[in-house]
Structure 1
Amino acid sequence: MTNELSVAVVPVSMLNQRVADLLAGQLPPMWVSGEVSNLTRAASGHWYFVLKDEHAQVRCVMFRHKAQYVAWPVSNGDKVELYASAGLYAARGEFQLGVDSMRQAGRGALFAAYEALKQRLQAAGLFDPDSKRALPAHPAAIGVITSPQAAALRDVLTALRRRAPHIPVILYPAPVQGDGAAPLLRRAIEQANDRAEVSVLILCRGGGSIEDLWAFNDEALAHAIAASRIPLVSGVGHETDFTIADFVADVRAATPTAAAELVSPDGLAMRQHLGQLQRRLQRAVARQLEPRMQQLDYLARRLLHPGQRIAQQQAVLQQWQQRWQRAGSQLLQQRQHRLQQLRWRWQACRPDLPRLAHRLSQLQSRLGPSLQRQLQNHAHRLNTLAARLQALDPTAVLARGYSLVTTANGQVVRQPGQVRTGDALLIQLAEGQLQARVSPPAPQQQTLPLELPKTDGA
């Protein structure tokens, strides 16, 4: 008891630091072989991974200034040899290897088996996209194949409760890790198909190493997934984890939560869409009802009591009767007026013989004196015109002693300048013609003689 009280009490950080110093001093750097798993490349450039074999595993860290000299793209499943120092990460008390260099030692056995099975199943057509079944848009029930203790189950149930709380969820329990997990997973799929109580299945578990997920790389499980009549969604591991079940499943989800979201309709979106449809339906019904209500009001206004309808018909009948009477009376008056006009016209066209005989007698008595006066007037006018014509007769002028002098071409000579000495002239007298020639001009006589020389016949 006294010895225990005398031992100094140290904090955890000091204990971890002492262990780290002890490991560093007792274990020199060495070459360690194993298979890379859970490789993570941090944004800082440092590598974090697990080195394992069939019986054990150890955490490793390779800092950026050393990882940059690795000459090939390291991936999970690579068989490697590390030159590393054993140590303790004091902040978390975790044993780890600090890697100084890495060299390739061949692909790991598990990864090689995984690749061989993948190629064999792909050649058999289990990965064919044409064989994939479509997921139901509104499943009646959702089945989940996983371990009841798995954190993935809580993620799936949380997502389903949030998105579609109205859809029943049925759990088909099966272990998701270990040697006997694959047959039980296969049995769970067969049981779900036999019971046929769900519309879609979710096969899920959380992330892990390739050993942790190895049950989902089982060939018999792959055939069971392909033979399932119920569409199956694989949600195994994280986004970077791929298993044979992912390739065979109808749909592969990156995480269990994503698988739940794929198989369930979004309740909020459905409610919003339903609200939109409800509002559209209300508007459509209103558009249909409004004209019907207006038509109903119009018909209601037109709807009358039978007594009112009879009274209206009687009023219309009375109006027609009055119009018929007025039309008949007007037609009769028109016919009577037309008859009177015809009578007047007939009377106007009937001859008045005594009056016409008296008129004829008067016209006969007036006709003789009128004709005599007309004849006398025309005779007087004729004499007047004859006297005027006689006065204008050129032969009468010639008879008084005048003559008409013309040139040889018949032009009347009115002045001496029209002819020249020696020109032939034709002189027309009252009784005959004379021909003469122009002699030199005599003195011009300004006036005519008052008396013409008498001829023998005067």
Structure 2
Amino acid sequence: MKNDSNDDLDDIFTVSGLNKKVSLLLENEISLVWVKGEVSNFIIANSGHWYFTMKDSIASVKVVMFKSRANAIKQKLKDGDEIEIYANASLYVPRGEYQLQSLLLRKSGIGRLHEKFLALKNKLSEEGLFKQANRLPKLIPVSIGIITSLNTAALRDVLVSLNRRAPYVKIVIYPTPVQGIDASLKILEKIITINNRMEVDTLLLVRGGGSLEDLWCFNDESLARVIANSSIPIISGIGHETDFTIADFASDLRAPTPTAAAELSCSNIVDLTNKIKFFCRHIYRSQRCIIDNCFQCLDILSRRIVSPLIDIKIFLERINVLKKLLASCIRGKLVERRSKFNLIVNSLHFNATNISMEARRLFILSDKLRKVYLDGVASRQAVVQSAMAIIHAFNPENILHKGYSVVRDINGNVIKSYDSVSSGQKLEIQLSDGFIETIVYSSKNK
């Protein structure tokens, strides 16, 4: 019998190769889906993995949920439970069996709760409520408040974390139920009371993990509004990393776990100590650098500054030089003046006879000069007296004493002619001993 596939031997698969190819096809074509069904054949293996079958009225499929995912489920499954799983399809290669790998699991009916959750989330988001929560917690708070139930592992984890990270923080616990019908109302009232008291810097709203029904009290609209309007920053740490509630979105910060919320609420004392040491070292180095620079500048300036003693010494040396120079100049001038004085004295002694002769001559000349001066003064006095006599003779006042007079108009002008006056004009006549005022009646020629 002829084999038609001999022409293409590359198309021949091994069983394992075929299973791997089918597994890749399943993983690529069917990524992550929600599947609803009834649980049967539920088994917990020694490894901690869960194995069970999901079925409906027509078909069934095998499901595996690995230990890391199964540990997050608080309520154990049992046969007959109606559940919904979020899974990806895969093929168990060694057996060639198709199965689902479950990542999330919830009881059937939670889908309706999830729809209510999404509707409320969209409503509050469109209102901008989630944007109101923008208060940043203090990096180093003085006190931290914890809202949770007293008998929870979440509270113990938070207290251990705070005592380890921030022993300097005062812790105030506000016991409140975190599950049940009235839990949301109790939490709401507690937040309002804490805001009125204002005794803490940061609030932690924490709870351990659980199903969607267990965490449903944190999806209350009134609680979300109170959280968003809180004047104290609120950090939520509700459930596990995969759990989201409306309270998480309304809070200022959302932590994946209660322990993470405690870590976000305060700074680690080890980090603070290291930062303080770092800044102390930085400050010390900066101060040391500044001091060294100052000393270096001081050294440079000290080399530029000349000591006053050096200046004084230089000035004293200059004074001594000037004193010696002055003394030398004085001695030279004194010697020069003394030599000139001696020369003058010698000259005077040598010319003593000439001096006496010149003195007699000077006496004779001075006597002659005196006589000439006296004669000149006498002749000048005679000339002056003659001139004075002439002036006296021509003085107008002397003529008035002889009976003459001077006629003037009211302006003081001398009348020299008869035609210079007119009838009725006032005139003034000067005599030797006074004045006469008169009026012209008429004037005529000689």
Question: TM-score, normalising length from structure 2?
Answer: 0.49
